[in-house]
């Protein structure tokens, strides 16, 4: 069967990565979590001391960009590819609230976007990719055969993300998670470069009242229809 590219965009914490992962597994496609790449660059800026309570030394980050290595790679312990920053696996660290609190600021820097978008397009060249993010259908892969735009009620999203973080053993409050996702939605939708937008040809999935299985079946039907027509 012919392979297609699938772009999944939408608001913070609305289950994009869960759906993308399920689809990739079912179809034997490669899943690319573009948000993890922005989070890894943000982690680097935090570790380098360029993000302060009252500012961001963006020029230092921009100057260092050619030397920051962000990639998905396997680890000896894990079978699947995970995000690496300068050769180290950082999946757990990038999910911390200190990264979530600053990632939209870093993702608004045009030089950061240019670097990551180029890497993302390279990874999708051979097709058979499910990529999730904010600008995949509009900017990274405007020719993707199938584009989904996901949304859900903000409080439902906050509760889901809060449970996820708690399960990972992180110290957070529901209120902090809720405020963070509203703030990121606002910053991601209003930035100058490649803001979060629904592509004109995207199919909207509001999963406020959908089960994971219901959402997956809906998306899988769309993939099958699209693949037949491709």
- Beta carbon nearer to ligand CDP, 38 or 149: 38
Q: Which is nearer to ligand CDP, 4 or 20 (CB)?
A: 20
Backbone Cα Rg of the chain: 17
Cβ count within 10 A of residue 228: 9
Contact of 150 with 16, CB cutoff 8 Å: yes
Query: Which residues lie near ligand CDP (CB under 6 A)?
Result: 12-13, 17, 34-35, 38-39, 103-104, 107, 133-136, 184, 188
Using the minimum distance from each CB to ligand CDP, give the nearer residue, 4 or 177.
177
Q: Which residues contact 86 (CB under 8 A, 6 or more apart)?
A: 44, 68, 69
Q: Which residue is nearest to ligand CDP (CB)?
A: 35
In angstroms, what is the minimal distance from the CB of 15 to ligand CDP? 9
Report, in Å, the least distance between residue 102 CB and ligand CDP.
10
CB of 19 to ligand CDP, least distance (A): 12
Distance CA(128)–CA(96), nearest Å, equals 30
Q: Closer CB to ligand CDP, residue 119 or residue 227? A: 119
**Which residue shows structure tokens 């939708």?**
189
- Residues contacting residue 186 through CB under 8 Å, at least 6 positions apart: none
Minimum gap (Å) between residue 114 Cβ and ligand CDP: 12
């Amino acid at each position: 069967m012919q392979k297609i590219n699938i772009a999944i965009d939408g608001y913070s914490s609305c289950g994009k990565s869960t759906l993308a992962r399920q689809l990739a597994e079912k179809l034997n496609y490669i899943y690319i979590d573009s948000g993890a790449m922005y989070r890894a660059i943000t982690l680097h800026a935090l570790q380098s001391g360029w993000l302060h309570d009252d500012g961001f030394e963006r020029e230092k980050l921009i100057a260092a960009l050619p030397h920051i290595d962000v990639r998905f790679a396997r680890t000896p312990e894990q079978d699947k590819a995970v995000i690496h920053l300068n050769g180290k696996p950082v999946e757990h660290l990038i999910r911390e609230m200190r990264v979530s609190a600053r990632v939209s600021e870093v993702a608004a820097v045009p030089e950061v976007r240019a670097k990551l978008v180029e890497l993302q397009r390279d990874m999708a060249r051979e097709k058979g990719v499910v990529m999730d993010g904010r600008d995949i259908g509009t900017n990274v892969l405007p020719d993707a055969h199938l584009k989904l735009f996901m949304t859900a009620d903000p409080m439902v999203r906050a509760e889901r993300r809060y449970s996820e973080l708690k399960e990972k053993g992180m110290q957070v409050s529901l209120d902090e998670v809720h405020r963070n996702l509203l703030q990121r939605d606002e910053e991601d939708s209003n930035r100058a470069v490649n803001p979060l937008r629904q592509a004109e040809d995207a199919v909207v999935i509001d999963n406020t009242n959908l089960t994971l299985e219901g959402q997956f079946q809906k998306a899988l039907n769309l993939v099958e229809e699209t693949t037949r027509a491709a």
